[in-house]
Amino acid sequence: MNITETISNFPEFAKDIKLNYSKILNEGILESSLLYSVILISSIATKCDVLINAAYEESKSYVTEEIIQDIKGAYAIMSMNAIYYRFTHLTNEQSYSSMPANLRMQYMSKHKISKSDFELLCLAVAILMGCGKCINAHEAVLRENNVENIKIQTVARIVSIINSMANILEVKS
């Protein structure tokens, strides 16, 4: 079952989420491959198995196995970085921010998709994990690479919709 089928069973109180998901699928701001990549990485980041499986099903016509590997690579790196950098951002001890992270991040330079697309995937995870430092860093790189604000905002909207879906699935259970 894909996401569209999964959310068709959502209760009336979640109608806005269904409508918002339909809107992002049809608005054409992100090319299809990137749109479904953001949907997939956001679903993975929710850790909701039903949603993850539905996202794989929904995205299979739009993302290649190579792209899926980059999605997993972005998630692997960001699930580490967002926790570490959120710590350095939230702690009162300022010296941690000036210390070397000593975290290996080679996949940041080994991905096959474009730099901007990879940065948008990293941004999606940073948003979902709530790391302001990572959000600002990836958003700055995207602006430096002339990615339009509407695309950056669309990623944030997708993440928020996917996060809501995961939460609704947990409430429904």
What amino acid positions are annotated as catalytic residues?
131, 134
Q: Which domain holds residue 110?
A: 3-172
Question: Please, are residues 59 and 40 in contact by the beta-carbon 8 Å criterion?
Answer: yes
CA dist., res. 111 & res. 7, Å (int): 32
* CATH number, domain with residue 146: 1.20.1290.10
Q: Would you place residue 161 in the very low, low, confident or very high pLDDT band (cuts 50, 70, 90)?
A: very high
| Res 73 pLDDT > 90 | yes
In this model, does residue 171 exceed pLDDT 70?
yes
Band of residue 32 on the pLDDT scale cut at 50, 70, 90:
very high
**DSSP secondary structure letter of residue 148:** -
Contact present, 52 and 67 (Cβ < 8 Å): no
Q: What is the mean pLDDT of the chain?
A: 96
- Report the alpha-carbon distance of residue 5 to residue 95 in Å, rounded: 49
The pLDDT score that the predictor gives to residue 173 is 59
Question: Angle CA(76)–CA(80)–CA(83) in degrees, nearest 5?
Answer: 140
Residue 61 pLDDT level (bands cut at 50, 70, 90): very high
The pTM is what?
A: 0.95
The number of distinct structural domains making up the chain is 1
| Cα gap 104→78, rounded to integer Å | 12
Mean local confidence (pLDDT), 79-85: 94
Contacts 24+ apart (CB under 8 A), 143-152: 145/115, 145/116, 145/119, 147/116, 147/119, 147/120, 150/29, 151/29, 151/30, 151/120, 152/120, 152/123
